[in-house]
Structure formats: structure tokens, C-alpha cells
């Protein structure tokens, strides 16, 4: 039986995700911005929380952990590199590590850039990729700790993943990301049609997360630094993709 994944809106624009294995009855949550909505979703479904997977140390991804641990005996998983600034970990993981959850393999990728030690979790069987504030819908996280080259390398780790991979990112920033993307890549028909879809969804207060890797590859400027039209628009024809990425990230910071 495939895993079930539920999006849980938290705070003003964060997302947590429940990953449920019907076979074993286990449920993990990816990030814990606040406990209330996560507990409500769990109890409504009659699920117990078994694991908490943390992507990075920022408050809006970990603040709900103590209250969740008070209600459930859950295993906390997070980056070894961040043990000093994450809630107490039961399992500290690094790039290339994997563990099993309900009979499925979960791969850990270091996707530093937004922070050093930010991880993504990849479940190839379910084709799910939890990216939080690394690869985001139509964007990528702001570089608080890492360099543009680090974020570029982190995003490159998705290169070999199939188009059908579903991308679960950490925030509802897509509408403002779309305004920026359309300035960098104004003629891209896939982007133009995605923006229509985003506008319609937000008008009805629907989430634009998750998305797919196929859609991100077609429309997200941060995955398109190699694209001739974007390079031409930035006057960077023939430049190395990492340099084009750096320029796009710098423009987004000023945006």
C-alpha cells in the first residue's frame, strides 16, 4: 500500500506534512512549525505520531516539537550537522544516509544554502521529495548561511530524480515567487500558464504546494540557469549556470 501524504498549513504561510503508512499505522511529520494544526489533523484521522523529521533549525520549522513530544512518543530525526541547534535528536543523519519508514526507504540529502545543514528527504518509491526551504515552488530559499554555489549544488541533487517526483516545500510563497520568475523568464509559456493556475488557486485560498519536479524544471528560474532565454534576458549568454544562478539569486534578494 502506498504512503499517504497530507499537507498541514501552519502559522501564516508554513506547511508541515504528515506521511502515513497504512500498513504499519506509522505516521511521520515533516517539520513542526506549530503543534496545534498537526495534532488536530492527527486526531481527526485517528493517527498517532511516530516520527518527527526536521529539515533545518529555523524556529518556523521546529517550534512545535516540544508540544508534539508531550502528546506522542515520537522519534526525532534531523541533521547531524545541526545537533547543537535542533531539538534533541533520536537519530542524527547526514548526506547519503537512509532509513526505512513503513517498509519504504527514506534517503537523506544535504541541501545546504538556506542554512548549513539543511536536509531534504527523498522517498523514491512514493516519488516524494521534502525540500522545505531549499527547492521551493517557483523559487528557492534565501541564503542565510550558505553561498549561491552551495545552493546551486544542492538543487543539482534533484537532477537525476524522475519528473513525476512530487516536491513538498515549506512555505506558501509561490504567488510572490511567480512575480519575480516572470521578470526573469517573461516569455516562457509553461511559466505563463502556471501563473494563471497559481492565481486561480490563491484566489480560492488553495495551496500551491506540493508541485512536481517536472513543473519546477519547466518554470522555476532557479532550476533553469542553463536556459538560453533566461541567459539572454540577463545578458549572460554562454555563462556558467552557477554564475547565472548567482545572478538570479542576487536579483531575487533585491526584489
Question: Between 58 and 224, whose beta carbon lies closer to Zn ion?
Answer: 58
User: Does position 31 bind Fe ion by CB under 5 A?
Assistant: no
Q: Alpha-carbon dihedral of residues 129, 131, 135, 137, nearest 10 degrees?
A: 80
Closest contact distance (angstroms) between CB of 227 and Fe ion is 27
Report residue 221 CA to chain centroid gap. 16
Closest CA to 55 of 171, 170, 166: 170
Q: How far is the CB of 87 from Zn ion (least distance, A)?
A: 15
**Grid coordinates representing 199?**
492565481
Q: Which is nearer to Fe ion, 56 or 224 (CB)?
A: 56
**Smallest distance, Fe ion to C-beta of residue 255, A:** 18
Cell 526573469 locates to: 184
Q: What angle do CA 165, 108, 244 make, to 5 degrees?
A: 65
172 binds, among Fe ion, Zn ion, none (CB under 5 to 8 A by kind): none
Size of the site for Fe ion (CB under 5 A): 3
- In whole angstroms, the minimum distance from the beta carbon of 57 to Zn ion comes to 8
Is the CB of residue 131 less than 8 Å from the CB of residue 56? no
Q: How far is the CB of 114 from Fe ion (least distance, A)?
A: 8
Strand (E) or helix (H) holding 201: helix 189-203
Interface residues with Zn ion (CB under 5 A)? 58, 133
Nearer to Fe ion, 51 or 133 (CB): 133
Selected from 60, 63, 172, 185, the binder of Fe ion by CB under 5 A is 60
Write down the least CB distance from residue 243 to Fe ion, Å.
27
Give the x/- contact pattern for Fe ion in 163-182, rule: CB under 5 A: -------x------------
x-or-dash pattern for Fe ion, window 100-139, by CB under 5 A? ---------------------------------x------
Q: Which residue is nearest to Zn ion (CB)?
A: 58
**C-alpha pair distances (Å), 126 with each of 23, 34, 109, 175:** 14, 26, 16, 27
Q: Are strands 211-212 and 135-136 parallel, antiparallel or unpaired?
A: unpaired
Element (H, E) at 98: strand 98-101
Contact positions vs Fe ion (CB under 5 A): 60, 133, 170
Amino acid at each position: 500500500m502506498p504512503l499517504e501524504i497530507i499537507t498541514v498549513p501552519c502559522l501564516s504561510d508554513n506547511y508541515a506534512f504528515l506521511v502515513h503508512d497504512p500498513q504499519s499505522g506509522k505516521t511521520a511529520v515533516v517539520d513542526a512549525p506549530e503543534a496545534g494544526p498537526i495534532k488536530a489533523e492527527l486526531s481527526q484521522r485517528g493517527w498517532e505520531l511516530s516520527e518527527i523529521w526536521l529539515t533545518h533549525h529555523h524556529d518556523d520549522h521546529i517550534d512545535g516539537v516540544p508540544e508534539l513530544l508531550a502528546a506522542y512518543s515520537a522519534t526525532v530525526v534531523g541533521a547531524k550537522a545541526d545537533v547543537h541547534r535542533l531539538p534533541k535528536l533520536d537519530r542524527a543523519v547526514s548526506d547519503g544516509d537512509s532509513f526505512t519508514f513503513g517498509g519504504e526507504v527514506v534517503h537523506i540529502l544535504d541541501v545546504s544554502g538556506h542554512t548549513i545543514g539543511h536536509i531534504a528527504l527523498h522517498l523514491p518509491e512514493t516519488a516524494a521529495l521534502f525540500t522545505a526551504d531549499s527547492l521551493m515552488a517557483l523559487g528557492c530559499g534565501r541564503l542565510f548561511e550558505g553561498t549561491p554555489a552551495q545552493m546551486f549544488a544542492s538543487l543539482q541533487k534533484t537532477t537525476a530524480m524522475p519528473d513525476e517526483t512530487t516536491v513538498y516545500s515549506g512555505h506558501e510563497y509561490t504567488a510572490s515567487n511567480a512575480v519575480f520568475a516572470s521578470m526573469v523568464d517573461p516569455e516562457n509559456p509553461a511559466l505563463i500558464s502556471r501563473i494563471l493556475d497559481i492565481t486561480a488557486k490563491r484566489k480560492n485560498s488553495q495551496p500551491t504546494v506540493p508541485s512536481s519536479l517536472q513543473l519546477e524544471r519547466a518554470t522555476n528560474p532557479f532550476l533553469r540557469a542553463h536556459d538560453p532565454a533566461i541567459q539572454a534576458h540577463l545578458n549572460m549568454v554562454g555563462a556558467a549556470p552557477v554564475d547565472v544562478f548567482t545572478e538570479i539569486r542576487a536579483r531575487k534578494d533585491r526584489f
